Amino acid sequence: MIDEVRLAVDRGYKILEIQEVYQYEVTQYDPNTGEGGLFVDYINTSLKINAVASSYPSWVRTPDDEDIRQFYQSGGIRLDID
């Protein structure tokens, strides 16, 4: 039983009918490894596309520039200069 249902039963509620039960593994994003979480790959890809489509400021010349490094350090997403 999920925790919310268990709590409701403990407080006197009765389960009259069960329609469906899904069991899945809950994952949480780990910023140290960049893994976990349900939509991490999708969100990271979207953020990268959005950042690149917005174009780099004229002062960004190489992938070693501070702005690109900070983007990677804050979000774990490596931008390509090309």
SS (H, E, C) 16-60: CCCCCCCCCCCCCCECCCCECCCCHHHHHHHHHHHHHHCCCCCCC
DSSP H/E element including 4: helix 3-10
Residue 56: band (very low, low, confident or very high) from pLDDT cuts 50, 70, 90: low
Model-level pTM? Answer: 0.44
Across residues 54-65, what is the average pLDDT?
Answer: 63
Q: Are 29 and 37 in contact (CB under 8 A)?
A: yes
Each residue's pLDDT tens digit, 5-15? 889 999 999 98
Residue 42: band (very low, low, confident or very high) from pLDDT cuts 50, 70, 90: confident
